[in-house]
Amino acid sequence: MTTATTGRTEVKGAVGTAHTRVEGRDKVTGAARYAGEVPFADLAHGWLALSTVARGRVRSIDTDAVLGMPGVLAVLHHGNAPRVDTDYIGLLGIPPDPTAAVFQDDRVPHAGWPVALVVAETPEQAREAAEALVVTYDEEPHDTALTSDHPGAYPADGHMPAETEKGDLAAGLASSAFVVDEEYTTPEEHHSMMEPHAATALWDGGRLEVIDSNQGATWVQTELAKMFSLDESAVRVRSEHIGGGFGSKGLRAHQVSAVMAATVLHRPVRVVMTRRQMFSLAGYRSPTAQRVRLGADGDGRLRALEHRSLNQTSTVYEFVEPGAGVARVMYDADAHRTANHVVRLDVPSPTFMRAPGEAPGSFAIESALDELAERCGLDPIELRLRNEPEAGPVSGLPFSSRNLAACFREGARRFGWAERDPRPGMRRNGRWLLGTGTAAASFGAGAGPSTALLTAEADGTFTVRIAAADLGTGARTALTLVAADALEVTPERVRVRIGDSDFGPAMIAGGSMGTRSWAWAITEAARDLRERLALGTTVPPEGITVRSDTTAALGALAQKERHSFGAQFAEVAVDTATGEVRVRRMLGIFAAGRIVNPLTARNQLVGGMIWGISMALHEEAVRDRSTGGLYAPDLAGYHVATHADVGDIDADWVEDHDPDDPVGIKGVGEIGIVGAAAAVANAVWHATGVRHRSLPIRPDRVLSATAPTAGGGADA
Amino acid sequence: MREFGYQRAGDVSGAVALIAADPDARYLGGGTNLVDLMKAGVERPARLVDVRELPLDGIEPTPEGGLRIGATVTNSDLAAHPEVRRRYPALTQAVLAGASGQLRNMATVGGNLLQRTRCGYFTDLSKPCNKRAPGSGCPAVTGEHHNHAILGATDHCVAVHPSDMGVALAALDAAVTYETSDRQGKSPIADFYLPVGDTPHRETALPPGALITGVVLPPAPVAARSRYRKVRERASYAFAIASVAAALDVEDGVVRDARLAFGAVASRPWRARAAESVLIGAPADGTTFGTAADAELAAARPLPDNGYKVTLVRNLVVAVLTELAEEAAR
Amino acid sequence: MAPAPSSTSSAVTLNINGEKHQLTVDHRTTLLDALRERLDLTGTKKGCDQGQCGACTVLVDGRRAVACLNLAVAAEGREITTIEGLAEGDRLHPVQQAFLDLDGYQCGYCTPGQICSAIAVIEEHAAGWPSAATEDVRPEAGPPPLTPEEIRERMSGNLCRCGAYVSIVQAVARAAEAHGEADTESAKETAA
């Protein structure tokens, strides 16, 4: 037995200093095991069979032929699978996407819908049997095309009100000196994290164990418990290392079908999605059709603003990609109207994908601002600075902190913005036309209720247990630093264990809220533990454990507009003879609260900006209208940026501090992508004089664009 | 993927005999395309005959002053070979423009010639495709086709050949050598790929069961000044949307000899002979280059969404030939 | 479950990280699945299983290759090196160390492939191989310097969806520099 000590004066603050990842060694040696890599004796392998039609009913499934194939153990489908409950509200306060509740009826709502799970002794056997399974359908006509004037469109709330309105828009526009009225579109985009969704399910002494790759162990645990009508304590979900999530890794067909198969077969069953299956089972960002109308007076001050955004959702689940939400935070005008609409199509359910709403919404409105700057003859940064709101444009609430202007000033200085000639199409380097562009960024800074367990061990170390998820964000390391500072010890004395639902409820890794939510819980636990230890308590062999719960503290938070902000800068080169666009340089300056670990935070911010490059230039999933399925749904058909697409990219930050957060954190997961695609598109305009309002800016679109005319722009 | 037999061939005649005995058998080279297609269910061989260890991995000079490249030479070794880089730089550039370092280490010259189209309808069993399932239709004509053919296509198929190497080989007048159970043969690359017609599933003139043994490059002094330029939808690790292999010999401002071939515009690497005949003997300037490109592209029949390729190829031809002419003038 | 050898499976000996493994493989089993499902060498990752992402990059006879398009049965007789075979005891390979120090990753799933690829990139460059980023590929032009642009092109077969490309390229450059210095030093030693 020893006496634990905290608060030694020689301990320096760990938060704010660069630390390599605590699990780094495991990741560079291959020792880190992801969900599909934990071995089990007697493991069986499930392979999903997906519908080949876009709409209709399953008429027949010829299971007999397949059950006779080597190694095949079972074929689960709507005729024999266990029934599940989908009539509940989950941890995030929303009902489940029925896409995850597989094999409940014969309806096929989209191409690539799971119609069966074939389970066999080996993956090769399961795959062949799933491919051999003959399924016939009663096919019905489908509609998979999102159009801006689709008659089925309707306003939908999602996680914010569908529509906001103040003032007289028509009058505001009519009285404006300068008006922009344009449509912008973004395509269907897929998360495409490197690790496919994988889950192993088994029953262990009456308890369901699921080894999974997800963004919240307690989230998936509670969803599975509700769906299978089990007590939450009878379900344990573990998710130690996650190969990327970006919004896609929640409850999905793989976990549910694995649990069904493990229940039926009484042995462990693993289900892993193939890359192609992910394109219909893992969610995606809906395409958007957006219209922005801006009216400004002679000195660029906005008098009227309208942002409307339309996205598609499936026939079984309503998901809103709230592109118009960003205007509710960024820009004010006397006449201000925003609206998010959806249309139900025979397509898979879209879902959260890195900066849902902000990513496509900022492309539209930040492009429109650039167009307005051009029309007003104002520098695009100056235009934005003139339109900095005092309070939330829609809510009227004060900002917790809004350091956007500081981001623009610092970014302009470091990027060399002052030397910029605003005229488009003026700079050439060999075959390349050069241009620069900028855009603003914002993303909500929130927190969700979390619990943490903190133990003072008898050997003088401390163990944190929290059902956090490290998707590659560096959360495990950041929480180690936060805990060390809260305990006033060095990080080497702190061990953080995450990704286990047995650690209690915690916020998911999502909405840029993970690290902030978990850090809050750890900070509260550390305060309690230090009080206990301050009494000179002797630590028994089993240690002293305290538990925190931030539900009450979060509930007491004052209502404010809480957001991160940022300024994006891009330099592009465009070869108008070939249509190639290259991003040579990008700089993002962010006001994103206190930065816990500069090493990993910079990496994550830069990663978000690279998503912006990828969104601007490469990503587009093309839906084949005749079959209703995707064309070439794989990583050769769906391009994400690779090494050669990424030039000199840097991110940095200005001093910013959330005054109401115990650590001062806001979150850095999503802000990096916001505005990045617009900055690139604005730079393409500056290089060529051609506006691209539809992403991605592919070579064919650059080549097909109208050539700029003297004294005026052109459109694409 | 269905179950299959596997045998490693020790010599060429043994490999050919194994295939001759089994019409459902396929040669396995680097596997970079075949194994992928087997996973997709597009290829379902009953047996694989692994030819990677056959003694066909050499690059040797020919008595005529050209090069003979063995069929199992990997793309990497081909691209890195000093004689290829010196005498046929466009071939090295073309190979290096394809795939990735990993795939180039695996892929072989023989397999590269036989790789199948990456058309998304061809590789997806849930969709019709005349090339994969003759008679099922070609949805690309009215569907997604922004990266499909503008030259030599028919309503039966508008897919493009994905090879970069093949484009350079077409420009260089390469010939493909092969062996069957009863003879050795040689096919100029111009005759190697069949026209699409109404049989897009028949792609090459190789006799049934034939094994490609290598590629012969004739001597081509013009190729010492040659280039390959590829345009794709990301900066690397993507198939072409258009490419050009070009060689140019200029003397006193006049084109003495020229070679030109296009990639990703047709079901095969497209040798641009009409353009070459405009070039040879004409002044080496932008006007000539544009006229030459137009002469070849007069036959283009773009679809609604791939008309940009006509512009793109024309611009590429002018750009690459201009670069070569400037290099010659230095 | 290990099948018995038949017309569609074979008993093979795979040489992995210097160790011989005897097993019977279904001919359909890729080298990637043999490593992950049969030999518990799960460091090699399956990102796409189609040769489109590079996550499964291993070294085969010293050269980088994707394990997903290699059949296990065809890998017999070759020397396979995976991410598990790079460190010497506790001492990380210099490329591993550079990735760790410079944060050349985020989620870590593409990392083993990036590291194996980077090791090969450094070797390929040292051997004088040009790349698509090399302006003049003729041997007379000499080997191109390993600029960031060269590294980016040569590493492009390894996708990183987290977008850690900037720090990966820094890590490769640092390791290449150390490698070059080591070469110079060993050359000096030889000369001495």
CATH of the domain at B20: 3.30.43.10
Would the pLDDT of A239 be above 70? yes
Q: What are the residues whose beta carbons fall under 8 Å from the beta carbon of C68, sequence distance 6 or more?
A: C30, C31, C32, C46, C48, C49, C50, C51, C56
Residue B288 placed within a domain: yes
Q: How confident is the model at residue A94, as a pLDDT? A: 85
* Cis status, amide bond into A696, omega within 30 of 0: yes
Q: How confident is the model at residue C183, as a pLDDT? A: 58
Going by pLDDT thresholds of 50, 70 and 90, the confidence category of residue A295 is very high
> Can you read off the two tokens belonging to residue C176?
């290449």
| CB atoms closer than 10 angstroms to residue C129 | 23
- Number of structural domains (chain C) is 2
Q: Let me know: does B217 contact B208? Beta carbons within 8 Å.
A: no
Do residue B312 and residue A578 have CB atoms under 8 angstroms apart? yes
- CB-closest option in B120, B241, B306 to A632: B120
Q: Chain C window 49-88: which residues touch B at a Cβ cutoff of 8 Å? A: 49-51, 54, 57, 60, 63-66, 69-71, 73-74
Residue C159 placed within a domain: yes
Chains B, C: CB pairs < 8 Å: 111
| A348-388 residue pLDDT tens | 999 999 999 999 999 999 999 999 999 999 999 999 999 99
Q: How confident is the model at residue A714, as a pLDDT? A: 53
Q: How confident is the model at residue B120, as a pLDDT? A: 98
Going from the C-alpha of B173 to that of each of A34, B64, B203, B212, B222, the distances in angstroms are: 51, 14, 19, 17, 12
| B153-172 residue pLDDT tens | 999 999 999 999 999 999 99
Tell me the chain A residues in contact with residue C53 when contact means C-beta distances shorter than 8 Å.
194, 275, 635
Q: How confident is the model at residue A99, as a pLDDT? A: 87
What residues does CATH 3.30.365.10 cover in chain A?
24-33+447-555
Q: What is the CATH number of the domain that holds C159?
A: 1.10.150.120
Searching chain C, which residue's CA lies closest to the CA of residue A597? Answer: C103
Would the pLDDT of A9 be above 50? no
Give the rounded distance of the alpha carbon of C5 from its chain centre: 30
- CB-closest option in C42, C96, C133 to A28: C96
Q: What are the residues whose beta carbons fall under 8 Å from the beta carbon of B320, sequence distance 6 or more?
A: B227, B229, B244, B246
Residue percentage of chain A with pLDDT more than 70: 97
Q: Chain A window 181-200: which residues touch C at a Cβ cutoff of 8 Å? A: 191-196
CA distance C48 to chain A (A): 5
Kindly state whether residues C39 and C69 are assigned to the same domain.
yes
Following CA atoms B149, B153, B158, B163 in sequence, which dihedral angle do they give, to the nearest 10 degrees? -60
Could you give the residue numbers annotated as active site of A? 670
Searching chain B, which residue's CA lies closest to the CA of residue A705? Answer: B308
A8 in contact with chain B, both atoms CB, cutoff 8 A: no
Q: Let me know: does A627 contact B139? Beta carbons within 8 Å.
A: yes
Tell me the chain A residues in contact with residue C83 when contact means C-beta distances shorter than 8 Å.
28-30
Do residue C57 and residue B102 have CB atoms under 8 angstroms apart? yes
Choosing from B53, B81, B96, the residue where a domain stops is: B53
Q: Which range, of A534-543, A666-675, B203-212, averages the lowest pLDDT?
A: A534-543
3-state secondary structure of A580: strand
Q: What whole-number distance in Å separates Cα of residue A162 and Cα of residue A319?
A: 12
Tell me the chain C residues in contact with residue B101 when contact means C-beta distances shorter than 8 Å.
64, 117, 120-121, 124, 154, 157
Q: Where do runs of H (alpha helix) occur along A237-309?
A: 253-265, 275-281
Tell me the chain A residues in contact with residue C26 when contact means C-beta distances shorter than 8 Å.
122, 124
| A103-122 residue pLDDT tens | 999 999 999 999 999 999 99
Q: What is the CATH number of the domain that holds C53?
A: 3.10.20.30
Sign for the pseudo-dihedral over CA of A686, A689, A694, A698: negative
Do residue A578 and residue B237 have CB atoms under 8 angstroms apart? no
Going by pLDDT thresholds of 50, 70 and 90, the confidence category of residue A491 is very high
Q: What whole-number distance in Å separates Cα of residue C117 and Cα of residue C56?
A: 10
Tell me the chain C residues in contact with residue B97 when contact means C-beta distances shorter than 8 Å.
132
pTM: 0.97
Q: What whole-number distance in Å separates Cα of residue B96 and Cα of residue C69?
A: 20
3-state secondary structure of A589: strand
- Mutation target among C52, C57, C66 for the B interface, most CBs of B within 10 A: C66
Reported ipTM: 0.97
Q: Does CATH number 3.30.365.10 belong to domain A24-33+447-555?
A: yes
Going by pLDDT thresholds of 50, 70 and 90, the confidence category of residue A6 is low
Do residue B319 and residue A578 have CB atoms under 8 angstroms apart? yes
Tell me the chain A residues in contact with residue B319 when contact means C-beta distances shorter than 8 Å.
431, 577-578
Range of the domain at C49: 9-85
Q: What whole-number distance in Å separates Cα of residue A203 and Cα of residue A187?
A: 42
Residue C2 placed within a domain: no
Q: How confident is the model at residue C4, as a pLDDT? A: 62
Residue C48 placed within a domain: yes
| A187-209 residue pLDDT tens | 999 999 999 999 999 999 999 99
Average pLDDT over residues A77-84: 98
Searching chain A, which residue's CA lies closest to the CA of residue C87? Answer: A29
| B121-135 residue pLDDT tens | 999 999 999 999 999
Would the pLDDT of A8 be above 90? no
Residue B18 placed within a domain: yes
CA distance B198 to chain C (A): 30
What is the average pLDDT value for chain B, to the nearest integer? 97
Amino acid sitting at position A647? G
Q: How confident is the model at residue A713, as a pLDDT? A: 47
Kindly state whether residues C100 and C186 are assigned to the same domain.
yes
Residue located via tokens 């030939």: B321
Residue B202 placed within a domain: no
Q: What whole-number distance in Å separates Cα of residue A637 and Cα of residue A646?
A: 19
Q: Chain A window 632-661: which residues touch B at a Cβ cutoff of 8 Å? A: 632-633, 636-637, 639, 641-645
Nearest to A68 by CA among A123, A135, A118: A118
Q: Let me know: does A439 contact A678? Beta carbons within 8 Å.
A: yes
A370 in contact with chain C, both atoms CB, cutoff 8 A: no
Q: What is the CATH number of the domain that holds B278?
A: 3.30.390.50
Residue C1 placed within a domain: no
Residue C3 placed within a domain: no
In our burial notation (b when 16+ CB lie closer than 10 A, e otherwise), range A632-651 reads bbbbbbbbbbbbbbbbebbb
Do residue A578 and residue B127 have CB atoms under 8 angstroms apart? no
Enumerate helices (H) and strands (E) in chain A, giving the number of each. 17, 29
Q: What whole-number distance in Å separates Cα of residue A50 and Cα of residue A127?
A: 12
Per-residue pLDDT of chain C (192 residues; tens, 9 = 90+): 445 678 999 999 999 999 999 999 999 999 999 999 999 999 999 999 999 999 999 999 999 999 999 999 999 999 999 999 999 999 999 999 999 999 999 999 999 999 999 999 999 999 999 999 999 999 999 999 999 999 999 999 999 999 999 999 999 999 999 988 665 555 455 444
User: DSSP letters of A308-376?
Assistant: EEEEEE-SS------GGGGHHHH---SEEEEEEEEEE-SSPPP---SSTTHHHHHHHHHHHHHHHHHHH
Searching chain A, which residue's CA lies closest to the CA of residue B306? Answer: A700
Searching chain C, which residue's CA lies closest to the CA of residue B224? Answer: C138
Average pLDDT over residues B86-90: 98
- Mutation target among A580, A604, A638, A643 for the C interface, most CBs of C within 10 A: A643
CA distance C129 to chain A (A): 18
Residue B30 placed within a domain: yes
Q: Let me know: does A593 contact A564? Beta carbons within 8 Å.
A: yes
Q: How confident is the model at residue A711, as a pLDDT? A: 39
- Number of structural domains (chain B) is 2
Would the pLDDT of A707 be above 80? no
Would the pLDDT of B321 be above 70? yes
Do residue B233 and residue A639 have CB atoms under 8 angstroms apart? yes
Kindly state whether residues C108 and C166 are assigned to the same domain.
yes
Tell me the chain A residues in contact with residue B239 when contact means C-beta distances shorter than 8 Å.
636
Q: Chain A window 121-150: which residues touch C at a Cβ cutoff of 8 Å? A: 121-124, 128
Following CA atoms A497, A498, A503, A506 in sequence, which dihedral angle do they give, to the nearest 10 degrees? 140
Kindly state whether residues C99 and C186 are assigned to the same domain.
yes
Choosing from C85, C102, C132, the residue where a domain stops is: C85
Would the pLDDT of A1 be above 80? no
- Supply the DSSP symbol for C37: I
Average pLDDT over residues A323-347: 98
- CB-closest option in B86, B89, B102 to C65: B102
3-state secondary structure of A26: helix
- CB-closest option in B8, B79, B101 to C154: B101
B308 in contact with chain A, both atoms CB, cutoff 8 A: yes
3-state secondary structure of A63: helix
Residue located via tokens 């960031």: C148
Would the pLDDT of A708 be above 60? no
- CB-closest option in B235, B311, B312 to A645: B235
Residue B254 placed within a domain: yes
Choosing from C49, C68, C85, the residue where a domain stops is: C85
Structural fold of domain A44-141+194-244+249-281 = Aldehyde Oxidoreductase; domain 3 (3.90.1170)
Range of the domain at B279: 222-329
